[in-house]
Amino acid sequence: MKYLIVGLGNIGDEYSDTRHNIGFVVADALALEGKAVFKADRHAAMTRLSVKGRTMVVIKPSTFMNLSGKAVRYWMQKEDIPLENILVIVDDLALPLGVTRMRKKGSDGGHNGLISIIEYLQSSEFTRIRFGIGNDFSKGYQVDYVLGRWTTEETKVLLPRVKEAVDMIKSFVLTGPDRTMNLFNKRGEGKDSIPPANGAKDKNET
């Protein structure tokens, strides 16, 4: 069986280590653990790795965030991967920093990457890992926050949560979304997460 694992982000040094690129960070961590190397390919950097006989096609779209769906559709069709075997890792302002939640479907939540994927696939019924980046910004500064780089304090929280996201990906591939959600989502925020300063609600909950 084959699975398409999609880490969302923007290419270019100016976007490196920004909150919006957490999908790239998780994809890199997954590849590193599997000793796989990304190579530039059509619409994305791509690599392959396997876990217990199951193949993961891992991509980091090079189309920029608002055209992520173009890369997802291309690789889905090229590798003949069904919709239910797609997993997207996306940053989420509505979750506290470091909180990870898996969902089998849901709205775009105003996220340009998800908007594009839903448009290109004509479906919102694909699994995603929502990775909380918090919302510690003043009104009118959302873009600056999302495209800003992690602070030292945030990085300390980030590292173990990235590892947990990698574990969620492998669990999704081996056991499916339902068992993975039961195992990981119930863990909640965790003692080392930082709560949202502005009291954001979990608006994408489905």
User: SS3 for 114-158, per residue?
Assistant: HHHHHHHHCCCCCEEEEEECCCCCCCCCHHHHHCCECCHHHHHHH
Angle, helices 22-33/152-175, rounded to nearest 10 degrees: 60
Q: Which SS3 state, helix, strand or coil, does residue 15 take?
A: helix
Angle, helices 112-121/68-78, rounded to nearest 10 degrees: 40
d(CA 61, CA 66): 10
- The residues that are catalytic are 20
